[in-house]
Chain A
Amino acid sequence: MSEPVNALGGARFDGIVQVTEVAPQGMITVRGDLGAGAMEKAVMKAAGLPIPAKTSVVMKGDHAVLWMSPDELMVVLPHGDAPAAVAAMTAALKSEHALVVDVSDARAVFALEGEGPALRETLAKLSPADMRSAALPVGVVRRTRLAQVPAAFWFANDTEARLICFRSVASYVFGILSHAATPGSEVGHFS
């Protein structure tokens, strides 16, 4: 099998937050009736996690399941596990009106690490989303716009946010995140 390669070779920027391109992740888009029993079983089998509540993410180790829309989930898992998980989920959802697609190589993932207020400020500079912790607590996924491109992000904990964007705009997103995290650009809105 070919070696998975990062869009930006694992780029990193150290500013008021650390922006790091995460090593290749397995990402599977699943669409269908999220309330169906077969769906719950398929997701549990692939990720070992239940279906998340509306707008939430459930995480365990290097696995996560993100609620993307009323009929869409994203399953995050180790890159090498994705093909087998797609095959297993496709088989488990055979009798459902559902779709399972490996999008691992079509997305880029960034980790943002730092103090909570700085993290929220960095994202708030780029997105119209309400970044207050009451509006976007840990464990809630926000699909939104980051400057000119779509992105989804969530707080894994108080000091780390994860962000997914299309791989084709990885360089643009890394650039704007680094710019928003430039030392000296602190606004202090959330502190």
Chain B
Amino acid sequence: MLILTCPYCGVACDETELSPGGEAHLKRFGPGSSDEEFETYLFHRENPKGVHFERWRHAYGCGKWFHAARHTMTLEVFGTYPAQVYEPPEDIKAAITAKVPGWSWRDFS
């Protein structure tokens, strides 16, 4: 069972109080993009055994979307952070590096 702390209200949420929102930091490619870009945006997802970034919504609480960085094998949660960012903040990256030196995920490391 995952427990993620909502960065907006500070509540330690049980997994069942949250709605999963899939992979984090996707860049949308819509009208005017190439077929390849659109295919990547729509279908290509990471499926790592290790560090992963996800979107979650505090559905049974404040209703806000947020990001979570966690380890898919150990279920360790490195941290949560607000939705209004294009990439993980430095303190989250540092927390991951402390536990998983040399990690990388898409363009981040």
Q: Which residues of A contact B (CB under 8 A)?
A: 54-55, 68-70, 72, 128-130, 135, 142-145, 150
Among A54, A55, A145, A150, find the residue whose CB has the most chain B CB atoms closer than 10 A: A145
B10 touches A54 (CB 8 A): yes
Beyond the given pairs A130-B12, A144-B61, 10 more chain A to chain B contacts, judged by CB atoms under 8 angstroms and listed by A's residue number, are A54-B9, A54-B10, A55-B9, A69-B8, A70-B62, A128-B17, A129-B14, A143-B11, A143-B62, A145-B16
Between A and B, how many residue pairs show CB distances below 8 Å? 36
Instruction: Confirm or deny: B105 has a beta carbon within 8 angstroms of a beta carbon on chain A.
Output: no
Is the interface on chain B under 10, 10 to 19, 20 to 34, or 35 or more residues?
10 to 19
How far, in whole Å, are A72 and B16 apart by their CA atoms in the complex? 22
B16 touches A69 (CB 8 A): no
Instruction: Confirm or deny: B93 has a beta carbon within 8 angstroms of a beta carbon on chain A.
Output: no
B62 touches A69 (CB 8 A): yes
Instruction: Confirm or deny: B60 has a beta carbon within 8 angstroms of a beta carbon on chain A.
Output: yes
Please indicate the chain A residues that have their CB under 8 angstroms from the CB of B60 in the complex: 143-145, 150
Contact A70/B9 with A143-B61, A143-B62, A145-B60 known, Cβ cut-off 8 Å = yes
Which chain B residue shows the least CB distance to A146?
B60
